[in-house]
């Protein structure tokens, strides 16, 4: 089966998801250290350096109102991401058959 080319937006989304995953790991590590010794706050700067995430981003993510950019943008879309991916797959199948989109 032929590999379907990914759009630039899809590639960027994948990279962003990896960054968010690392950020969430750093965030949970900070919270775990904070629970272990509530008298001494762990260093946000050291944890950010260890996980290779920006200190300001980690600080902002520790705020209770923090929402990732993907979640924020998902709230603004007209159709869900899963449905968008189905439409792209359908367009690719139709294009393989040399049929018009309409």
CB 3: neighbour CB atoms within 10 A?
5
Could you report the per-residue pLDDT of 9-56, keeping only the tens digit for each? Answer: 778 888 888 888 998 899 999 989 888 887 888 899 999 999 999 999
pLDDT in tens, 87-96: 989 988 988 8
According to the model, what pLDDT value does residue 2 have? 61
Cβ-count burial of 75 within 10 angstroms (0-12 exposed, 13-18 middle, 19+ buried)? exposed
Rounded-to-integer distance, Cα 41 and Cα 31, Å: 10
Residue 4 in contact with residue 92, Cβ under 8 Å? yes
Nearest to 17 by CA among 73, 56, 91: 73
Contact 94, 101 (CB under 8 A): yes
Identify the H or E element spanning 92: helix 81-96
Residue 60 near residue 70 (C-beta atoms within 8 A): no
Q: What is the pLDDT of residue 1?
A: 53
pTM for the complete prediction? 0.59
Confidence of residue 74 (pLDDT cuts 50, 70, 90): confident
């Amino acid at each position: 089966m032929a590999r379907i080319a990914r759009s630039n937006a899809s590639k960027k989304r994948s990279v962003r998801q990896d960054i968010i995953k690392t950020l969430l790991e750093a965030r949970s590590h900070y919270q775990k250290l904070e629970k272990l010794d509530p008298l001494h706050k762990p260093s946000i700067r050291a944890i950010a350096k260890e996980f290779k995430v920006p200190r300001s981003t980690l600080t902002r993510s520790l705020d209770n109102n923090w929402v990732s950019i993907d979640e924020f943008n998902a709230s603004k879309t007209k159709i869900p991401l899963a449905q968008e991916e189905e439409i792209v797959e359908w367009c690719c199948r139709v294009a393989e058959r040399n049929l018009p989109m309409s």
